[in-house]
Chain A
Amino acid sequence: MDGLDTLKAKYLSAVATAADEAALEEVRLAALGKKGEISAMMAGLGKMDPDARKAAGASLNALKDEIDAALRARKAGLADAALDARLRTEWLDVTLPGRPRPRGTIHPVSQVMEELTAIFADMGFAVAEGPQVESDWFNFDALNIPPEHPARQEHDTFFMHRAPGDDRPPHVLRTHTSPVQIRAMTEQGAPIRVIAPGRVYRMDMDQTHTPMFHQVEGLAIGRDISMANLKWTLEEFCRAFFEVDKVELRFRASHFPFTEPSAEVDIRYSNVGGQLRIGEGDKWMEILGSGMVHPKVLAAAGVNPDEWQGFAFGMGIDRIAMLKYGIPDLRAFFESDLRWLRHYGFAALDMPDLAGGLSR
């Protein structure tokens, strides 16, 4: 079958030299098309005797497969070359900017409130809330600050207008989050563990004061909760919040009408080149006020002070946010300067949790 070898050589050469897909298709039609040379030879097999047909058929089939494979390979090769050629023309300046996406931010006060919540939730504290316009009974009387007590004067209270003829004492903008203690205990009774973060108001505006700021109240009432438990709770909180291995707190006797004994709490820190470091150094900074809830406060909220006892504390949220994140000026918190919001704000998905850490 020398003829077949010649045929094979002819077509394989034609496949190899086909310049493009059209030329290749011509080769395919000439060899394997319905009227192609090999197809015609296949058709001629029918006239052969069975033995000859068997031998010739096998050879022809092999030839057909070989040419077919060569056609396919060449076709793929041509397609690749064509794609390469096209891609060579497709060039973009990839240093162009990506499409703009807005980048929103969470205010540091909100972020820190979520941090506080995450830590205290783990210690079993729920989040309680109360109104910001408060009756003077909740804001003062129930907290053992009677009307003429000098402590009332020290609160720099904002009073709400009273209509003529309305003889009730004027409502106040709550001067602290402590009235939430009364509301929470009145609603839930004891035992209870809550924190109450929120806005508070004092008539004070200067370098370091704004007429509105944020506080978080803590309250834990049980059968035998002591001031030592308070200290541990605050130590644990500060360690977790400031994300340091250890903190040192100093309790200093003080006076708040609604706690007894009362203590102001200082935290040890250092100031290295203007940078505050919590937990080291030889300086002390006051960070909160605290104490054992006064029996009169428990009684005002309907909790029997002979059966229940516990602690409360109040801490400035803006202040600890400033400490933790190195924010210099309190007033800027409420000015909504876009540059400030972007610089000190947090990304939407920076959600504080204990498993992943509070801050990135």
Chain B
Amino acid sequence: MKFTLSWLKDHLETGATLEDILYALTDLGLEVEEVTDRTARLAPFTLAKVLHAEQHPDADKLRVCRVLTDEGEKQIVCGAPNARAGITVVLCKPGDYVPGIDVTLGVGKIRGVESHGMMASERELELSDEHNGIIELPSGEVGEKFTDWLAKNRPEVVDPMIHIKITPNRPDALGVRGIARDLAARGLGTLKPLDIPAIPAAFPCPIRVEIDPALKAKGCPLFAGRLIRGVRNGPSPAWLQARLTAIGLRPISALVDITNFFTFALNRPLHVFDAAKVHGPLRIHPAQGGEELLALDGKTYALRAGMMVISDDNGPESLAGIMGGEVSGCTEATTDVFLESAFWDPITIATTGRALKINSDARYRFERGVDPAFTLPGLDLATQMILDLCGGEASDLAMDGAVPDTTRAYRLNPARVISLVGMDIPEEEQRRTLAALGFTLSGDMATPPTWRPDILGEADLVEEVARIASLTRLEGKPLLRSAPGVPKPILTPLQSREKAARRSLAALGYNECVTYSFIDEQAATLFGGGSDAVRVDNPISSEMTHLRPDLLPGLLRAAARNQARGFADLALCEIGPAFHGGEPGEQHLQATGLLVGQTAPRDPYGSRRPVDVFDAKADAEAILAALGAPARVQITRKVASWWHPGRSGTIGLGPNALATFGEVHPRILSALGVKGPAMAFTILVANVPLPKTKTPTRPALAISDLQAVERDFAFVVDKGVEALTAINAAQGADKALIESVRLFDQFTGEKAESQMGAGKKSIALTVRLQPTEKTLTESEIDSVSARIIEKVTKATGGTLRG
């Protein structure tokens, strides 16, 4: 919403400075976004008089002038054709900044003649585009400030323009008068009365108006108008044009400018029909659908069934409350005008406006809610202005419907106001505030004014009181702890685990990323997503169309970007939601790590090697351990399609998958442009079971003083035999005695097969025996060893390696 200071002063009697007004506006909730105040830039310039002008000795087009200024006579060289003795000019002195040419003046020499300043053109002072000569003022004294002269003679030029942001609840502030009312309530002046003229009816209105019964209850409760005949629709007067220009509107003609003026001055959008182009009565009715209307913006709109239109015998002439039609619009030739003032239902206007994508000042206001009770007074005021500016005579009122009754009242509870705001606002001040805003108070009940459709409950009264009292005055009061003493922990177990996973990943060397929750369809599809259920209907780009089914695609894309920048060795991770459906709650927390390239930079110690599956596995296990997952888990080869089928596994507890690790499928890498291979893991954080008992107490430490014994075994097995089979078999040989079984070596490949036979490999286990009662004898050790060999060979189909 834009307006000028003088426009505000049409409605507000005030001695407040611009600065005070701006502060109050923002503080009241009418946030000032921009102020254009030309006086600041024009402040240095003063009036001067050219005493004498003569030809420059060395240049045809220059004159050397003697100029009388407030600092005495100065010599100024000037190139303007109108520089001559006797004219009053605007002087820019050395040191002044001239906005139109973006120069700070100095004393100069022009073709050998000194020049002490310049005489400005309109363009040089950004007053207009005029640059044919320097400004010649018809009045003014030498030394007078140019801004003072402008204020007296061309006030619109120095009228500050104020642009404020209007929150959706304040349609009343979409008119200058509403803003003035707020400022008056704050105490920055008094609201000037608005006199509604009585319009004598010179003749009966020849255009009947008629609201379709389907719309009377809601869509259009009231439609009124008047025919004014014999008008002259030329350009509007300078003051009106200046107002509109100042707020960025283009003056069109007196009739159109008057409607725009009322839109901004009083939040009363109006429409003018050229009565000569209206045939028969005006009907306000829902469109049947399929009609077309050429609107004032030059576009043709296809109407859908139910949209409100104003039609005459020829069909739709206006999109009710949104935009008029081109055919029945006013032109310079208009002599008879039908002035419309109506009240439209906000929701109906919003729905139609959105469907047709028309953003007009009228729609903007009607959908937020104009004052229904001001429909007729607004019509009267505008009629009077047309009569004043364009002449003619007005008909009687053509009207259908009635002002809708919006009367409602809410209890003002002064104690509750104080309790909610936490500020001591006396009851008397509360009542005075509401009265100043137009509320009617009766006992403790407050009836909102008709221009405040947003006031819908007691809480709204509180807001009005607090806003006018100024929240800047609010002083903080401590919020006491809800319980005394040391606060309890507040994170849920899942939240703690998310944090643990994140910190552990960083400790393992991963750089945490935050990538978008939506990804492109191709990537989503590759990872089992991409269905319509997770599709964003109005994506902002084709890269962000589907909710991510997994965190890996985002990280892989990030890896590709980093590779393109020359970073080949990457350890990236993310902890965040993945979406398995499009319903609220169909999301789950993943912690994903991605390794690409080498484990380390080149160094003298040979630390560098390509990352492999067991790097990813070790990290996955470390995170699971940090999350409190049990040490003993199962590893299966049941993995999703984006993993390398032979080089990946799922870590689980029975049917409950905790994590997947492995090499990313090469086809995925090439689809996402990642130079591989790439290792990764995904942890399903919520699947890690919570501890059964929640006590910080550890179980007692059972350690034996008896000597533990370690024995190594090597087995020859088929290549496809998994180490875990052997380990579990060995473990089962004597559950009490065997403390741990670890695989410490494997021998595979061509050399191994040449020694042990085709399709064979060797694995070596170390078994640690921990007696608890007495030291083991050799024979006891031998018997356990034999059982281990028996179990392992049986489970793996292998043999002890000789």
A and B part of one assembly: yes
- Spell out A's residues near B (CB within 8 Å): 96-97, 99-107, 109-110, 114, 117, 121-127, 129, 131-135, 138, 148-151, 153-154, 158-163, 170-171, 173, 191, 193, 199, 201, 203-205, 211-212, 220, 222, 224-235, 250-255, 257, 260-264, 292, 294-296, 309, 333-339, 341-342, 345-349, 351
B360 within 8 A of A: no
A45 CB, min distance to chain B CBs, angstroms: 47
Q: Contact check: which of A105, A251, A260, A309 meets B506 at CB < 8 Å?
A: A105
Bound CA span A253–B433, Å: 15
What residues of chain B lie closer than 8 Å to A170, measured between beta carbons?
Answer: 537
B614 CB, min distance to chain A CBs, angstroms: 16
Do A211 and B29 touch across chains, with their CB atoms under 8 A apart?
no
Do A106 and B422 touch across chains, with their CB atoms under 8 A apart?
no
B346 within 8 A of A: yes
Bound CA span A333–B513, Å: 8
| Given A124-B481, A160-B537, A254-B31: A341 touches B517 (CB 8 Å cut-off) | no
Do A261 and B471 touch across chains, with their CB atoms under 8 A apart?
yes
Do B476 and A235 touch across chains, with their CB atoms under 8 A apart?
yes
What residues of chain B lie closer than 8 Å to A341, measured between beta carbons?
Answer: 511-513
Q: Which residue of A lies closest to B169 (CB)?
A: A255
| Given A105-B506, A148-B347: A260 touches B462 (CB 8 Å cut-off) | yes
Extra pairs beyond A107-B513, A158-B536, A228-B422 (12, CB < 8 Å): A100-B601, A104-B512, A114-B499, A173-B536, A211-B540, A224-B419, A227-B474, A228-B475, A230-B422, A255-B29, A292-B459, A295-B458
Do A232 and B471 touch across chains, with their CB atoms under 8 A apart?
no
Q: Which residue of B420, B536, B604 has the most chain A CB atoms within 10 A of its CB atom?
A: B420
What residues of chain B lie closer than 8 Å to A294, measured between beta carbons?
Answer: 459
The 8 A CB mask of B514-545 against A (1 = contact, 0 = none) is: 11111000000000000011111111110010
What residues of chain B lie closer than 8 Å to A346, measured between beta carbons?
Answer: 506
Q: Which residue of B lies closest to A306 (CB)?
A: B416
A-B contacts, 26 listed (Cβ < 8 Å): A96-B604, A100-B601, A121-B487, A123-B479, A125-B490, A133-B582, A133-B583, A149-B168, A150-B367, A158-B536, A158-B538, A159-B537, A161-B532, A161-B582, A171-B584, A224-B419, A226-B422, A226-B477, A231-B422, A231-B476, A252-B26, A253-B471, A254-B167, A295-B458, A339-B565, A346-B506
B460 CB, min distance to chain A CBs, angstroms: 6
In the complex, chain B residues 562-620 whose Cβ is within 8 Å of any chain A Cβ: 562, 565, 567, 570-573, 575-577, 579, 582-587, 600-601, 603-605, 607
What residues of chain A lie closer than 8 Å to B347, measured between beta carbons?
Answer: 148
Q: Contact check: which of A97, A173, A229, A292 meets B477 at CB < 8 Å?
A: A229
Do A104 and B26 touch across chains, with their CB atoms under 8 A apart?
no
In the complex, chain B residues 148-195 whose Cβ is within 8 Å of any chain A Cβ: 167-170
What residues of chain A lie closer than 8 Å to B27, measured between beta carbons?
Answer: 252-253
Bound CA span A104–B585, Å: 31
Do A134 and B584 touch across chains, with their CB atoms under 8 A apart?
yes
The number of residues on chain B lying at the interface, defined by a beta carbon within 8 Å of a beta carbon of chain A, is 103
Q: Contact check: which of B168, B511, B532, B567 meets A255 at CB < 8 Å?
A: B168
Do B571 and A133 touch across chains, with their CB atoms under 8 A apart?
no
Bound CA span A204–B534, Å: 20
Do A104 and B584 touch across chains, with their CB atoms under 8 A apart?
no
Q: Contact check: which of A99, A148, A199, A254 meets B603 at CB < 8 Å?
A: A99
What residues of chain B lie closer than 8 Å to A122, measured between beta carbons?
Answer: 487
What residues of chain A lie closer than 8 Å to B59, measured between beta carbons?
Answer: none
Bound CA span A292–B601, Å: 56
Q: Which residue of A257, A309, A341, A351 has the most chain B CB atoms within 10 A of its CB atom?
A: A341
Do A229 and B422 touch across chains, with their CB atoms under 8 A apart?
yes
B128 within 8 A of A: no
What residues of chain B lie closer than 8 Å to A339, measured between beta carbons?
Answer: 565, 567
B491 within 8 A of A: yes
In the complex, chain B residues 482-507 whose Cβ is within 8 Å of any chain A Cβ: 482-483, 487, 489-492, 495, 499, 502-507
Bound CA span A279–B283, Å: 62
A219 CB, min distance to chain B CBs, angstroms: 12
B791 within 8 A of A: no
Do B517 and A201 touch across chains, with their CB atoms under 8 A apart?
yes
Do A211 and B511 touch across chains, with their CB atoms under 8 A apart?
no
Q: Which residue of B506, B532, B577 has the most chain A CB atoms within 10 A of its CB atom?
A: B506
Bound CA span A99–B606, Å: 9
The 8 A CB mask of B466-481 against A (1 = contact, 0 = none) is: 1100111011111101
What residues of chain B lie closer than 8 Å to A126, measured between beta carbons?
Answer: 490-491
B113 within 8 A of A: no
Do A336 and B603 touch across chains, with their CB atoms under 8 A apart?
no
Q: Contact check: which of B504, B516, B584 meets A138 at CB < 8 Å?
A: B584
What residues of chain B lie closer than 8 Å to A162, measured between beta carbons?
Answer: 537
| Given A105-B512, A153-B354: A160 touches B582 (CB 8 Å cut-off) | yes
B205 within 8 A of A: no
B509 within 8 A of A: yes
What residues of chain B lie closer than 8 Å to A349, measured between beta carbons?
Answer: 503, 507
What residues of chain A lie closer than 8 Å to B513, measured between beta carbons?
Answer: 107, 336, 341
Q: Which residue of A lies closest to B166 (CB)?
A: A255
In the complex, chain B residues 446-468 whose Cβ is within 8 Å of any chain A Cβ: 457-460, 462-463, 466-467
B423 within 8 A of A: yes
Q: Which residue of A lies closest to B585 (CB)?
A: A131
In the complex, chain B residues 115-150 whose Cβ is within 8 Å of any chain A Cβ: none
**Smallest CB-CB A-B distances: 10 pairs:** A102-B509, A228-B422, A226-B422, A232-B476, A255-B167, A253-B29, A336-B558, A348-B506, A104-B506, A251-B471
A229 CB, min distance to chain B CBs, angstroms: 4
| Given A121-B490, A226-B477, A345-B512: A148 touches B423 (CB 8 Å cut-off) | no
Do A232 and B479 touch across chains, with their CB atoms under 8 A apart?
yes
B368 within 8 A of A: yes
Bound CA span A253–B532, Å: 42
B518 CB, min distance to chain A CBs, angstroms: 8
Bound CA span A203–B544, Å: 11
What residues of chain A lie closer than 8 Å to B517, measured between beta carbons?
Answer: 132, 173, 199, 201, 212
